[in-house]
């Protein structure tokens, strides 16, 4: 472990839950930002995969993926 000495300062019974809570909050924030700032992701979640893929087609063609 790269930063093993941190546990000499912070007890694992305190640090591990704080770390896990921070990871959960960060993941939820990323998902909320994707849902609120894109048009294709909410459509994909509603089962409109074909419409979502049509929105992504120009980007895919620019990258040489399609």
Q: Is residue 64 scored above 70 in pLDDT?
A: no
Q: Is residue 8 scored above 90 in pLDDT?
A: no
Is residue 14 within 8 Å of residue 6, measured between CB atoms? Answer: no
CB-based contacts of 48, cutoff 8 Å, min separation 6: none
- Domain that includes residue 40, residue range: 4-63
- Transcribe 48-63 into DSSP letters: -HHHHHHHHHHHHHHH
Tens digit of pLDDT for each residue in 12-56?
899 999 999 999 999 999 999 988 898 878 777 777 766 556 666
Alpha carbon distance 20, 31 (integer Å): 17
What backbone phi and psi angles, to 5 degrees, belong to 26?
-65, -45
Is residue 10 within 8 Å of residue 19, measured between CB atoms? Answer: no
pLDDT the model gives residue 62: 59
Task: Give the chain's domain count.
Answer: 1
pLDDT the model gives residue 45: 78
């Amino acid at each position: 472990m790269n930063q093993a000495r941190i546990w000499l300062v912070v007890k694992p019974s305190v640090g591990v839950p704080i770390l896990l809570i921070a990871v959960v909050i960060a993941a939820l924030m990323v998902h909320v930002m994707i849902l609120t700032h894109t048009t294709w992701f909410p459509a994909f979640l509603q089962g409109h995969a074909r419409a979502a893929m049509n929105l992504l087609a120009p980007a895919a063609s620019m990258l040489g993926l399609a």
